Amino acid sequence: MSFWKDKKVLLTGGSGFLGSHIVENLVNKRGVLRSQISIPSSKDYDLRVWSNCEKVVKNVDIVIHLAARVGGIGFNQKYPGTLFYDNILMGVQIIEAARLEGVPKFVEVGTVCAYPKFTPIPFKEDDLWNGYPEETNAPYGIAKKALLVMAQAYRQQYGMNIIYLLPVNLYGPGDNFDLESSHVIPAFIRKFTEAIRKDQKEVNVWGTGNASREFLYVEDAAEGIISATEKYDKPAPVNLGAGKEITIKELVTLVGKISGFQGQIIWDVSKPDGQPRRCLDVSRAKKEFGFEAKTDLVVGLQSTIKWYNNNY
């Protein structure tokens, strides 16, 4: 708690899914006052505009940069240019503004989408540059990976205390359940619960189900980011994940079972699977700042489904 005493924290994207859980952790577990946390709204402070970046970093001790334009496979296919431009511009400008302001600590939150398409399992941070990302999310992944280059360059030239984290797919209460832009777990939850409510006997799912993914419960992700902010100060990127993978087919079965759906699952194999496999080596996070994921996938899914049913 002494680390956060009297510190002003800028949390871009702080009103979003991950950001809201970071705020909750800071307030309830670290004793940070809400008055210490600045959360600029995208409506009032579009971070693609340089002058807004200059304003939000004034008198700040820590920046945690979460603000991003994100979505699932369909969203990435539909808006690749937007995803590249918005993410790289927001990141480049907020880092530069923080440097000019002399902000003591900057935390850049990247993405697992930065990894090459055929990265050996488990993904090690040193494999990050050994190939091109999976095509459907490459513009987003490369935009975020460019910010790692910037972070390391700014540390080298300016001595800027900036770290870079690579979280895997997140899920949990408060997730985005919009089918146009949601990721895989919230999309499945919405499809199954709506099918039950409408008494539908079938649910359509993209791909073959053979691809694998790793999922990190959002409260665990928040703890990992905060722990890294407190304890980590090196140029090397760090994975944040659970270190376990599950195939999409297994995941669909699990979400359907927990949701109570008993109908048929129809696989639309004309749609892409995305990256073939995804599972992180999480040993660096444990070694450097003692982070380990605590939430079992079944428990996390039960919590997320319960939240969805109570709020939608």
On the question of a cis peptide bond just before residue 122, with omega within 30 degrees of 0, the verdict is yes
The 3-state DSSP class for residue 9 equals strand
DSSP string, 41-76: -TTT--TTSHHHHHHHTTT-SEEEE-------HHHH
Specify burial of residue 139 (Cβ count, 10 A radius: 0-12, 13-18, 19+).
buried
Q: Of 45, 115, 132, 140, which residue is the catalytic one?
A: 140
Q: How far apart, in whole angstroms, are the C-alpha atoms of residue 218 and residue 274?
A: 22
171 is catalytic: no
Specify burial of residue 83 (Cβ count, 10 A radius: 0-12, 13-18, 19+).
buried
Counting DSSP H helices and E strands in the chain, the numbers are 10, 12
Q: Please give the structure tokens belonging to residue 241.
A: 């994940």
Q: How far apart, in whole angstroms, are the C-alpha atoms of residue 166 and residue 144?
A: 10
Specify burial of residue 299 (Cβ count, 10 A radius: 0-12, 13-18, 19+).
exposed
Pairing of strands 9-12, 62-65: parallel
Q: Do the Cβ atoms of 19 and 5 come closer than 8 Å? A: no
Q: Do the Cβ atoms of 233 and 164 come closer than 8 Å? A: no
Q: How far apart, in whole angstroms, are the C-alpha atoms of residue 83 and residue 71?
A: 9
Report the catalytic residues.
140
